[in-house]
Amino acid sequence: MSSLSPFVGGNLFDELFRDISPGYLVRPLHGDPLPAQIKVDIKENPNEYVVHAELPGAGKENIHVQIEGNVVSIRAEISQIDTQNKDDKPLRSERYFGQVSRSFQLPVDIDQSASKARYDNGILTLNLVKAQSKGGQRLSID
């Protein structure tokens, strides 16, 4: 029973065929799927939240950030296109395309007009300025 422990959480058949056959015969030509989820790091300082989101392969024009109150949504279209000559016979290609998205809620509302976004080298950086709470107003007593 202990010999099966390496297969827990993996695909037993993929492991079996990996040992007896070259990988390109078992796996599809377009092997690696899109990332299941956009990975983010969120930091807070007194005036803003700083979000770093990994979006490798996305063009700046294909990234959309939407803010509604304290909910931030990131959506991106990612495409890696194959280049191939007419004489080439592809054995394996690890390019992919599709859409990924991620939404998360922050503790306070975001001031959209003061917030900024920057995309550099596959990392989207959002500087999300906290909205100033207007606080409660005191009612005058007559």
Res 80: pLDDT: 67
In angstroms, the CA 42 to CA 52 distance is 7
Tens digit of each residue's pLDDT (9 = 90 or more) over 92-116? 666 667 788 999 999 999 999 999 9
If you average pLDDT over residues 38-59, what whole number do you get? 92
CA neighbor of 55 nearest in space, from 71, 40, 70, 72: 40
Q: What is the pLDDT of residue 58?
A: 85
d(CA 116, CA 126): 6
Radius of gyration over every alpha carbon of the chain, rounded to an integer in angstroms: 23
Q: Is the dihedral of CA 51, 112, 110, 129 positive or negative?
A: positive
**pTM of the predicted model as reported, rounded to 2 decimal places:** 0.64
Contact 86, 108 (CB under 8 A): no
pLDDT digits (tens, 9 = 90+) for 50-96: 999 998 878 899 999 999 999 999 999 887 666 666 777 766 666 66
- pLDDT > 90 in the chain, percent: 42
* Cβ neighbours around 126 below 10 Å, total: 22
- The whole-angstrom separation of Cα 7 and Cα 27 is 18
Left if phi > 0, otherwise alpha if psi is -120 to 50, otherwise beta: which for 48?
beta
pLDDT of residue 105: 95
Give percent above pLDDT 70 in the chain: 58
- Domains of the chain are 34-80+94-131 (2.60.40.790)
